[in-house]
Structure 1
């Protein structure tokens, strides 16, 4: 890790910056695949599955037989863990249900909202070396609670045309409607445009590599909504002299193993912790199967020594991390000062992994500084709010003249007239 001691505030912008990649060539490749899928549907999707996932597919949809086989391939212990996580995620997201109430803004004028589920949503679940079956739970569970009529899931198969069984079990547990063996850009295109097999959805959720992220951005311009813009995963840990060094190192490494482009930031007020954490990271790193990936991530990560807790929280708020861990003696006080973060973990026992899997909170979170403007996925992500208003004769008399004056001032005479004719009818 890169150690920076007592940086001036004028240097914070560079400390909190993310790598900027030249994606011009990548976007061109993505655009070509999307155009092909739009024009040729299933034929194009199958061709790209053969090219990229080396899978020869006769059918894109996962069959009922494959679903039953998957259950037998998942250990009882893992099945119980999936069910526990699903229970907690469902419990937490159920608490987010919207309760509407009618508001009388003036005599005879009532306004209210109704929450309506998005009818058809698409979930993208990465496979490969890290099949994210936990993300199935994080996305499908709130979609089901919201009342989405159709939940479509796409995930890449292996070269034998099989989907990871844990992904299938999680999908069954959370209530996914249809599962397709499609990965990468072609999956995003298929859900955005619709093909002979895969329904067009109204909103796409889920993480992926830079090609998938670019595809989501492109289709969001004209064809479909997406959950949020995203970049590589990241964590910020704020720790003081009371922190458990072993825990801090483990938290940093758990993020670093996501990918070589993952971001790890430690902010501390303890100079001793700086050296202790580096030694502990080296020790734990040697036992990780994905240590080469973690090492690359750590090369671009930063350990920052600051003067006090206020500087620590200010720097974190500028960074706006996806995950923020507060391993300090006064974590409750610091938590009140958090302005920008995707999800916050309080105290030495609240590791990021808890939120990633089973505490109940959602792990689909804004990255790349987008926590300044975006929330993580929640129940509202799968809903729309429709507003209603009702006016009586009294209501027209109460606000009618104000409406006329404002419409006239904006030189929108037809707007004015729509109210004027109503006022005249009451004379």
Structure 2
């Protein structure tokens, strides 16, 4: 399904509004600074000096107060400067599910179709020479005469060993950057790097029977489950974007035309689980069990929905045709079936957090003020606890993933899993967790 078809299918799709942005152009700052620098000097020459004439008394002996200096005669220049600032402001109109680059690519604005309640960047690999840059930064910040620690020397030696492109360049002003064989800018015919952002919005308005009944977002309650049609959006945001338009020279001295690359919506999940309260990418997707369908995925995403469920999705890899310099097609909207559904009775799960150590472990927070731990095993409980209303639940999504991989039926919605263990004493405990 294309995005336009999805908008026609949802009640509020016809009421999505464009965004009007008024951004001051680059000349506005120059005009402001010029007005500030010139006006005081000219007004000083035109204003009379009160110290040149002594204070004279009036007939009744009351001293006369000197009159304040007259305003400078060239106030028209300040007005012209202010007028020029207004003229440099440009109104940018961004349609729903579109984006624009502002101020020659220094800023980017996205119209995602509603108020954002959940968003998370897909974890990306650090640059190949990131360690070398970090080591150089640490070295430059060390005080003179201070000995380098053994740990710092060992880290620097380990970083430099076996890395061919870990060159470190020092620019004017002492700024350290990473140098590599590839260009840092997206030139014509070059490769563009992307970061992927997952986000979810709440409906921007309330529509009943095809009529707009409320122009502002509808109210949502923590203790009232809801199941409405909505989207989880995956945006591709350019990383190596040029800062200016026009032409520039590459490292070989050749002139290449540079273009501004806009962020674009590349994939979306059409679901009926209501609003998404929170979502997060799995940081350990490479640790998932090996499977044919998992060899070509962008990542694994967990989200908490308004129907009280926490669902885990496998997001497919984005086709190269949708990551070209220019946008040619609309984003793909699919009815993606989750690989895991976790649910608690009479509880809306509002927050989710993947474990940074175990791929099968997640932390979820419920609407009753309780907190649930998904996956893993409890090794020991700390004696200290917090007097917070809530509970802790232990889930095992590893068995759910393994069972689904063995069955191979990806077109069937999985049965909701139940907590393996749950503590309902109204307190929040700290645990040591291990796989």
Measured against the shorter chain, the TM-score band is under 0.3
Instruction: Looking at secondary structure, tell me which structure has more helix per residue.
Output: 1
Which has the higher relative contact order, 1 or 2, with Cα contacts under 8 A spaced 6 or more apart? Answer: 1
Q: Which has the larger radius of gyration?
A: 2
- TM-score, normalised relative to structure 2: 0.19
Instruction: Looking at secondary structure, tell me which structure has more strand per residue.
Output: 2
- TM-score, normalised relative to structure 1: 0.19
